[in-house]
Amino acid sequence: MPRLADEIQQRVPFAGPEVEAFLNLQRTADLLRRETVELLKPYGLSPTGYNVLRILRGAGTEGLPCSEVSGRLVAHDPDVTRLADRLAEAGLLTRERRSRDRRVVVLRITPDGLVLLEQIDPQTVALHRRQLSHLGESSLDSLINLLEQARSPIPTPENP
- The residue ranges of every structural domain in the chain are 14-147
CATH number of 14-147: 1.10.10.10
**Phi, then psi, of 63 in degrees rounded to 5:** 70, -175
Percent of the chain with pLDDT strictly greater than 70: 93
Instruction: Please check the confidence at residue 139 and state whether its pLDDT lies above 70.
Output: yes
- Please tell me the predicted confidence (pLDDT) of residue 104: 83
Q: What is the mean pLDDT of residues 118-130?
A: 97
Torsions phi, psi for 107 (to 5 deg) = -105, 140
Give the model's pLDDT for residue 157: 62
Read off the amino acid at residue 14. Answer: F
CA torsion through residues 111, 114, 115, 116, sign: positive
User: How far, in whole angstroms, is CA 103 from its chain's centroid?
Assistant: 26
| pLDDT tier at 110, thresholds 50, 70, 90 | very high
HEC profile for 43-95? HCCCHHHHHHHHHHHHHHHHCEEHHHHHHHCCCCCCCHHHHHHHHHHCCCEEE
pLDDT for 130 beyond 70: yes
pLDDT at 59: 93
